[in-house]
Structure 1
Amino acid sequence: MYGIDVLMKEHEQILRFTGIIRRYLVKALEGEVLFQDEVLPMIEFIRNYSDAHHHGKEEDILFRYMLADLGPVAEKIVRQGMFAEHDQARNIVRNLDEARQVWEADPTDEHLLDVFGLMYNYAILLEAHAERENAVVYPFAERNLSAERLEAVDRETKAFETEHAARRENYLKELDRWEGLLENKKA
């Protein structure tokens, strides 16, 4: 199914990103803070790719149909599970952006620790979140939505992907760039 396949491929990209976060943090533990100029672009990646592009598509397309058609189980999975985790990720990113600003204004180890901790929290949350969606939410939707609804998900996903292709490609290039920076540092 096209729509769900796209979402799962985006999870692969988001997991690439959480892997990049982890590799940057390991380098920091080794004494090399590589990403002083990368925190804001990473926040922008999260806000514009992980959230607006990926979570937005889930919320506006797939989850909308699940809530409309699949009753109390979908209500629990989507509202109490996935929406809550999306909001939790957004809160982490809000706090991360605030911590980044404090650290940039006063670059102490304590302020850098706040940035590191929030980046790590985001990575942990999104890794578990992607696994839950891949293993539980998407299969539930594929099994229980009608053929007409699944076709609508595919059609709306194609339209979304066409409309936002430039954004997607821009952020996939950012992943390549970050991996290149790490490779050059032998991370």
Structure 2
Amino acid sequence: MKTDVTQVMVAEHELILRMIALVETNTRRLEEGRFSNWQFYLDAVDFIRNYADRFHHAKEEATLFTALVANGMPEQNSPVAAMLMEHEQGRAFVRGMEEAAQKTLAGASDQVAVLAENAYGYAELLRNHIEKENSILYPLSERVLPEEVRPAMLEAYRQAEAAVAEDFSDHYRRMVEGYEAEAAA
């Protein structure tokens, strides 16, 4: 039986999807005039940049995608290239959300549409991206990666996790839970 090298990624996707749902819910409420916590968007940007991007995407890019290419997947015109392109598109949406939230906190009153466009764009992109990874790329990875590369991959994941603060994942989980409780109230 092969060692599973994508299970940790699927588990991380669950928390990312919960934040995406909050971004969508709060943006709908913002557009309806029922939400005005612009700090939420800066916290969402923090979550996305640090948990989803620097932590999760970094593991994918430095370990999983590298292993796939090293084991025969083309670097260009491939699922890996498509996922990397989507990571970059997501980063652009996040910059747009952050700029709109910062402008509003600085006194601008015309940023709802800009924020909504970037928030919805990010949510749609990432939800589809995660679906492709969970249903296509990760199962493909489990089929094609040889057993001999898997222990090194799991060690690379452990090193990435050890490189962040001890309560890193708990911090972001608590952030999501706090905003979920707020949204449910």
* Same fold (TM > 0.5): yes
Aligned to 2:152: 152
- Residues 22 and 83 (structure 1), Cα distance of their counterparts in 2 relative to 1, 3 Å cut: same
CA apart distance, 1:37: 2.1
Unmatched 5+ stretches in structure 1: none
Aligned to 1:180: 181
Asked if structure 1 preserves the Cα contact closer than 8 Å seen for 2:13 and 2:130, the reply is yes
Aligned to 1:3, the other structure's residue is in SS state: coil
CA apart distance, 1:30: 3.4
CA apart distance, 1:121: 0.9
Question: Scaled by the length of structure 1, what TM-score is found?
Answer: 0.89
Aligned residues: 182
Asked if structure 2 preserves the Cα contact closer than 8 Å seen for 1:53 and 1:168, the reply is no
- Residues 68 and 111 (structure 1), Cα distance of their counterparts in 2 relative to 1, 3 Å cut: same
The CA RMSD over aligned residues, in Å, is: 1.8
The 5 Å alignment of 1:19-58 reads: 19-58=21-60
Aligned to 1:93: 94
CA apart distance, 1:161: 2.4
CA offsets 1:106-162 (integer angstroms, 9 cap, x no match)? 332x31211122111111111000000011111111111110112222222123223
Asked if structure 2 preserves the Cα contact closer than 8 Å seen for 1:40 and 1:97, the reply is yes
Aligned partner of 2:101: which letter?
Answer: R
Unmatched 5+ stretches in structure 2: none
Aligned to 1:71: 73
Structure 2 residue aligned with 1:4, among 3, 6, 24?
6
Aligned to 1:72, the other structure's residue is in SS state: coil
In 2, the alpha carbon distance for the partners of 1:43 and 1:71 equals 32
Give percent identity, aligned residues only: 31
In 2, the alpha carbon distance for the partners of 1:112 and 1:28 equals 7
CA apart distance, 1:35: 2.4
CA apart distance, 1:23: 1.5
